[in-house]
């Protein structure tokens, strides 16, 4: 593929988004939650774990600890027992309690509506912060780059070889997508990654993005 100009890449990104919107609309969050606090906890739990597995434990967790105040006073072993089926459950339980305590001490028990402030919470990195800003507050301050978004961005050549970290990949996407679309990208691409663009054996022959000539990695065979 010849070197693509910035203008051409922006136009192709817009056409890809049109296909994604036709497929998934704004996209739906795969995690079950009740409010910004429970969403933040659910996203923390989803690290290196499937959303389906998280959704199996969060009803019990949120019934027992529905607020930051309740979780801040929880016993570590009790939280561990609830989320024991998840990977890294000990570290996640510790982070959840510490997160709730910091919310109570520094933010009045309210999840902050700021991507930088969110990242001061234990267990919350930029991906989690972006998810919360988009899903809970509908105020996108970036694009959440998880494994699906990272993989798809590189297969679509919207991020180049030098964008070898989630942060660099996010920067590449922010450069080609307007802010009003940042809200949708993660949800849409997670669904797209599960349905078509899997890590192994992607379904290129069935892919509507590839069929429209928008994917440089398209391989219909």
pLDDT at 221 exceeding the cut of 70: no
What tokens were used for 87?
């990977």
As a whole number, mean pLDDT of residues 94-123 equals 98
The rounded distance, in Å, linking the Cα atoms of 45 and 144 is 15
pLDDT at 79 exceeding the cut of 90: yes
**Six-digit token string for 67:** 């607020």
| Per-residue pLDDT tens digits for 12-54 | 999 999 999 999 999 999 999 999 999 999 999 999 999 999 9
Please give the Cα distance from 124 to 126 (Å, whole number): 7
In the set 51, 75, 146, 168, the catalytic residue is 146
Q: Compute the mean pLDDT over every residue in the chain, rounded to the nearest whole number.
A: 96
For residue 1, is pLDDT > 60? no
pLDDT in tens, 160-187: 999 999 999 999 999 999 998 999 999 9
The two structure tokens encoding residue 86: 């998840």
Contacts of 115 (CB under 8 A, 6+ apart): 126, 129, 130, 133, 141, 142
- What is the per-residue pLDDT across 97-108, written as a single tens digit (0 to 9) for each? 999 999 999 999
pLDDT at 109: 97
Q: Is 43 helix (H, G, I), strand (E, B) or coil?
A: helix
pLDDT of residue 88 exceeding 70, the answer is yes
Distance in angstroms (rounded) separating the CA atoms of residues 185 and 190: 8
In the residue annotation, 75 being an active-site residue is answered as no
Q: CB of 185 within 8 A of CB of 170?
A: no
Residue 43's pLDDT is what?
97
In angstroms, what CA-CA distances link 215 with 13, 76, 83, 196?
10, 47, 39, 12
87 has pLDDT over 60: yes
The pLDDT value recorded for residue 219 is 86
Residue 37 is given by DSSP the state H
Reading the block at residue 6, the tokens are 């910035």
- pLDDT (0 to 100) of residue 220: 81
Q: Are 36 and 111 within 8 A, CB to CB?
A: yes
Please give the average per-residue pLDDT across 196-206, as a whole number.
Answer: 94
Residue-level pLDDT at 2 = 72
pLDDT score of 96 more than 90: yes
User: Does residue 20 contact residue 189 with C-beta atoms inside 8 Å?
Assistant: yes
Give the per-residue pLDDT at 8.
95
Break the chain down into helix, strand, coil percent, rounded to 5. Answer: 60, 0, 40
Is residue 127 annotated as part of the catalytic site, yes or no? yes
Determine which one of 106, 114, 116, 127 is catalytic. 127
């Amino acid at each position: 593929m010849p070197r693509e100009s910035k203008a051409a890449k922006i136009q192709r990104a817009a056409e890809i988004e049109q296909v994604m919107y036709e497929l998934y609309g704004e996209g739906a969050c795969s995690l079950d939650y009740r409010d910004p606090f429970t969403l933040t906890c659910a996203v923390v739990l989803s690290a290196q774990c499937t959303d389906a597995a998280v959704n199996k434990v969060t009803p019990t967790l949120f019934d027992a600890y529905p607020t930051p105040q309740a979780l801040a006073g929880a016993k570590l072993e009790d939280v561990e027992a609830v989320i024991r089926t998840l990977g890294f459950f000990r570290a996640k339980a510790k982070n959840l309690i510490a997160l709730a305590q910091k919310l109570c001490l520094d933010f009045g028990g309210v999840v902050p509506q700021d991507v930088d402030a969110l990242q001061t919470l234990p267990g919350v990195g930029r991906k989690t912060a972006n998810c919360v800003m988009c899903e809970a507050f509908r105020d996108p301050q970036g694009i959440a780059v998880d494994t699906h978004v990272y993989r798809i961005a590189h297969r679509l050549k919207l991020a180049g070889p030098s964008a070898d970290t989630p942060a660099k990949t996010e920067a590449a996407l922010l450069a080609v997508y307007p802010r009003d679309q940042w809200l949708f990208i993660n949800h849409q691409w997670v669904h797209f990654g599960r349905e078509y663009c899997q890590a192994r054996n992607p379904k290129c022959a069935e892919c509507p993005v590839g069929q429209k000539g928008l994917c440089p990695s398209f391989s219909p065979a």
